[in-house]
């Protein structure tokens, strides 16, 4: 008798769950950063100093990290000196060519000698072009010694310590922009609204609003839901990436933004 009563209760609960509408089950929402990036080293070098710590906010263009630039500046000085040397040689070769050309026009110099001088000038021009490229590359590497922020945000994770030697392509830190956040959720296909529709959420018992920013191009055939992302303002910094909340409802009078 007790067994029958137990299975009867289970059956009634299952029937209730099957008959419940989608509105009886709040949609779970998770917050993600609007923009994020893992910045890697662009050179083989030794980290000298971090200018920001994990969690600190920075502006676009701020220097986040500095490498020891001593070897790179030495290389830049070396190739710059070589460029200056070739420029002097080229100037002298051009002047010699012009003087020899005048002598040739007066029949005081052979054509072979003129061709040699001309070849010397062209060779020095080619060498100068190559060393100019070396100078540009050396200057670029000096610039890479200061890693600047590609956008405003804050450091989420530091992956290398000061005074460590890193390789090109090695991750240095992960940065995020969280003044705006993406509220990610899966909603029933029947509740799908167009991009720009305003939605309301509850996070930590407080109400927030946002607008649909992205809609997944593919639905989940098993659950009959589709993923959407809404852009939520976080100018005051009250929300944190990873927080969970619930979708309340479409805000009254909402619709696609114009």
- Residues 24-55 pLDDT 10s: 578 999 999 999 999 999 999 999 999 999 99
pLDDT of res. 56: 92
From 169, 174, 166, 167, select the one nearest 149 (Cα to Cα). 174
d(CA 147, CA 55): 17
d(CA 33, CA 177): 6
Q: What is the mean pLDDT of residues 135-161?
A: 96
Q: What is the mean pLDDT of residues 231-249?
A: 92
d(CA 207, CA 29): 13
d(CA 60, CA 122): 45
**Residue 252 CA to chain centroid, in angstroms?**
36
pLDDT of res. 117: 85
- Is residue 178 a contact partner of residue 243, using CB atoms and an 8 Å limit? no
pLDDT of res. 217: 94
Decide the pairing of beta strands 45-50 and 27-40. unpaired
β-sheet bridge partners, residue 64 = none
Residue 255 has pLDDT above 60, yes or no: no
Residue 250 has pLDDT above 80, yes or no: no
Residue 135 has pLDDT above 90, yes or no: yes
- More confident: 107 or 158: 158
Residue 200 has pLDDT above 70, yes or no: yes
Q: Residue 203 contacts by C-beta under 8 Å, 6 or more apart in sequence?
A: 29, 31, 239, 243, 244, 245
pLDDT of res. 19: 42
d(CA 53, CA 182): 24
pLDDT band at 97 (very low <50, low <70, confident <90, very high): confident
- More confident: 227 or 2: 227
d(CA 136, CA 76): 9
Q: Mean pLDDT over all residues of the chain? A: 87
d(CA 88, CA 177): 51
């Amino acid at each position: 008798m007790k067994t029958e009563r137990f299975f009867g209760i289970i059956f009634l609960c299952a029937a209730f769950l099957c008959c419940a509408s989608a509105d009886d089950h709040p949609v779970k929402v998770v917050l993600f950063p609007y923009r994020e990036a893992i910045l890697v080293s662009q050179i083989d070098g030794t980290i000298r100093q971090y200018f920001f710590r994990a969690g600190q906010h920075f502006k676009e263009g701020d220097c986040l990290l500095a490498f020891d630039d001593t070897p790179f500046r030495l290389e830049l000085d070396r190739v710059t000196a070589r460029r200056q040397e070739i420029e002097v040689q080229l100037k002298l070769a051009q002047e010699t060519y012009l003087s020899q050309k005048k002598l040739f026009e007066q029949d005081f110099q052979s054509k072979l000698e003129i061709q040699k001088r001309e070849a010397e000038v062209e060779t020095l021009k080619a060498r100068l072009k190559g060393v100019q490229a070396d100078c540009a590359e050396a200057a670029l590497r000096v610039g890479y010694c200061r890693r600047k922020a590609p956008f405003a945000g804050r450091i989420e994770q530091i992956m290398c310590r000061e005074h460590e030697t890193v390789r090109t392509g090695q991750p240095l830190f992960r940065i995020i922009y969280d003044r705006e956040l993406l509220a990610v959720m899966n909603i029933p296909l029947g509740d799908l609204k167009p991009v720009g529709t305003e939605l309301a959420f509850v996070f930590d018992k407080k109400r927030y609003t946002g607008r649909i920013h992205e809609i997944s191009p593919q639905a989940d055939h098993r659950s009959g839901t589709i993923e959407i992302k809404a852009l939520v303002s976080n100018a005051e910094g009250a929300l944190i990436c990873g927080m969970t909340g619930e979708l309340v409802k479409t805000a009254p009078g909402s619709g696609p933004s114009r």
